[in-house]
Amino acid sequence: MAKYKGITVNPAKFHRSQIKFYIILLPMIVLALLPLIYIISTAFKPIEELFIYPPAFFVKNPTMANFRKLFGAAENTAFPMSLYLFNSIIVTVAVVFLGCLISLMAAYALSKRKFKGRKTIFKANQLALMFVGSMLGIPRYLVINALGLTDTFWVNVIPLLIMPTGVFLIKQFIDDVPDSLIEAARIDGAGEFRILTRVVFPVIKPAMATVAILFFQSAWNSVEASNMYINTEGYKTFAYYMNVLSSAGNGVAGRGMAAAASLIVVVPNIVLFVIMQSRVMDTMARSGIK
Amino acid sequence: MKKQKKQTTLRTRDALSGLAFLSPWLIGLLVFTLIPIGYSLVMSISRVKFTVNGMELTILGAQWFEEIFTKDANFLPALLDTVEFIAFSTPMILVASVILALLLNKVTKGRGFFRALFFFPVVVISGPVMSKLIGNDATMLIQANDYGVYQIIGNLPGVIATPLQYIFDNVVLILWYSGVQILIILAGLQKINKPIYEAASIDGASGWQIFWKITFPHLKPMILLSGIYTVVDLAGMPSNALAKLVKNNLTRLDAPYSYSAAISWLYSLVELVLLGITFLLLKERKEKHDD
């Protein structure tokens, strides 16, 4: 029987034969992490090292100068950094929660409910998926203006809730959920919403986790709303603030500040992801829909 | 009679609950995406003028489209550049994600850790950070030409050498854009029943045969999904030559917005063709293996 160990697809235990896979995976991981290491290294570079060409990969004399410059610039702004941070946290939580809920509901309806126009709506979603983002800026601005959303706090949230990619991904996963499972829940007297949250959601958790991360990204990194729709400084977000600060220094020297700002913006992403990863990835591994 | 009535109400209930679930998102899609897309179509065939009262549109017809094809020296190179980028990168990202997903699926120690690391780039890549990295050419940091591999590739015939060179030039970028795809394919791998593998190995199938006869056909829908995701993802990158062209022309003095809108529409058509090709190549064949 030992012969079959080599081809088991979801092995439960470590076996010596797995070592070869680690050997291939390790260098890949190093490659995947290189740019991140580079940005960290750049953030700590003193100004002389930033001028070296071709740019050196690792920092030789790490310094906090870039961060000091960044925070120095922050002291000259009218509002404290914490305000922007607070805004961003509210926006991100709202976008992730509402965005996931709306997408899940829509994907469920598109996948499992039969009604007229279902296919057309899904095609419209695909059209939206394909359209060049930068072009939509102006017409979207006009719509937001017409709705009276300009210069409100919620304009940070509302346009981000619609993510065609999210609905598309979730729908493909719900398509695989057997109808009999939903049918069974219905016979047991579960309401539609209950079926969605208690039956469908647990089965497609991996897809939801992925989409949640995509929503988090789009909200946390969003500068569009702050740039285009909001005039009131107090409604603007952290990513916008960091962008403005880092553009204070330009040219080669600005690169160090930019790297420092990028690093600060990306740290919450990393922390959240590390906290979430064990849960997300574990459900990923076990959620086989049989 | 009674039975029929019950059926209709059931169907109506189905439709109603479906619409209720769909409506928040549908309204959002309509307002923030579809209406703007439609509006941009109108702009692409009109002259846009800014007056005190706002924007004024005069319908012109296909003038901008004509100009793109006959006068714009930047359009064709940008288009070719973008298509080449997508056409080269998509298959590589897909192959890389399938291989990585297969490998990740086989390790047990530190499984979570490994999976997290490959998904990590998706978390780190974000508008501002990524554009700065690409701006600094960080993705090309490993100077491949320093290594022996490069010389070996250089000696190969062009047909093989060009794509290989591309792979080595973009290896980091490929890994960075594979996170979501790896997850999708991993989820697909989990769904394949173990008994099929056992049966195959008892019948004496080799690992290679098992991959092509069992794993790959089962994964195909997931690969298609990843393929579509990849094409859309790559085409949406703001660093694309075409996307840049759209952006640069946004504020063109004699044709604000309208010229860009026309390019955007052409871009979307090209993307549609690319998606169509992806779909044709990866869709499931009719002769289905019995599960």
CB A265 to CB B198 under 8 A?
no
Domains in chain B with CATH codes: 2-63 (no CATH), 65-125+177-282 (1.10.3720.10)
In this predicted structure, what is the pLDDT of residue A2?
A: 40
The rounded radius of gyration (Å) of the Cα atoms in chain B is: 24
DSSP 3-state helix, strand, coil percentages of chain A (rounded to 5)? 75, 0, 25
Inter-chain touch A128–B116, beta carbons under 8 Å? no
The reply to whether A275 falls in a domain is no
Summarised one tens digit per residue, pLDDT across range B242-291 is: 888 887 877 777 777 788 888 888 888 888 899 889 888 887 765 544 44
Residue B161 has pLDDT above 80, yes or no: no
Q: Which domain holds residue A164?
A: 77-246
User: Mean per-residue pLDDT for B108-122?
Assistant: 74
Please say whether the beta carbons of B233 and B122 come within 8 A.
no
CB-closest option in A103, A114, A139 to B36:
A139
DSSP 8-state secondary structure symbol assigned to residue B252? -
What CA–CA distances, in Å, run from A225 to A139, A157, B239?
14, 9, 20
**Whether A138 and B243 lie within 8 Å, measured CB to CB:** no
Instruction: Report the distance separating Cα A63 and Cα A81, nearest Å.
Output: 22
pLDDT of B159 strictly over 50: yes
Which chain A residue's Cα is nearest to B103? Answer: A21
Those residues with Cβ within 8 angstroms of residue B2's Cβ, 6 or more apart along the chain or in another chain: none
Q: Best residue in B123, B173, B278 to probe A by mutation, most A CBs within 10 Å?
A: B123
- A277 to B119: CB separation less than 8 angstroms, yes or no: yes
> What pLDDT, on the 0 to 100 scale, is given for residue B148?
56
pLDDT number for residue A99:
94
pLDDT at res. A286: 46
What average pLDDT score do residues B16-39 get?
86
The complex scores an ipTM of: 0.76
The number of distinct structural domains making up chain A is 1
Are A83 and A97 spatial neighbours (Cβ–Cβ below 8 Å)?
Answer: no
Is the CB of residue A129 less than 8 Å from the CB of residue A165? yes
What integer pLDDT is reported at residue A285 of this predicted model? 46
- B45 pLDDT higher than 80: yes
Q: How many CA atoms lie within 13 Å of B248's alpha carbon, on the beta-carbon side? A: 11
- What CATH number is associated with residue A163? 1.10.3720.10
DSSP calls for B126-182: -HHHHHHHHHTTGGG-S-GGGSHHHHHHHTS-HHHHHHHHHHHHTHHHHHHT-HHHH
> What's the average model confidence in pLDDT over B97-116?
79
Q: Using one digit for the tens of pLDDT, what is the confidence trace for A195-241?
A: 888 888 888 887 788 788 888 888 888 887 887 788 888 888 888 88
Question: Within chain A, which residues score under 70 in pLDDT?
Answer: 1-16, 35, 51-57, 132-135, 247-254, 275-290
Q: Which residues pair with B54 in a beta bridge?
A: B51
Asked if residue A268 is part of any domain, the answer here is no
pLDDT in tens, B162-209: 776 677 677 777 887 888 888 888 878 877 777 888 888 888 888 888
Q: Is A54 left (phi over 0), alpha (psi -120 to 50) or beta?
A: beta
Q: Residues of A with CB below 8 A from B120's CB?
A: 32-33, 36, 270, 273
What is the Cα–Cα distance from A36 to B176, expressed in whole angstroms? 11
CA dihedral angle for residue A103, residue B28, residue B182, residue A179, rounded to 10 degrees: 30
Mutate to test the interface with A, among B16, B40, B100, B106 (most CBs of A within 10 A): B106
Instruction: Specify whether the CB–CB gap between B100 and A28 falls below 8 A.
Output: yes
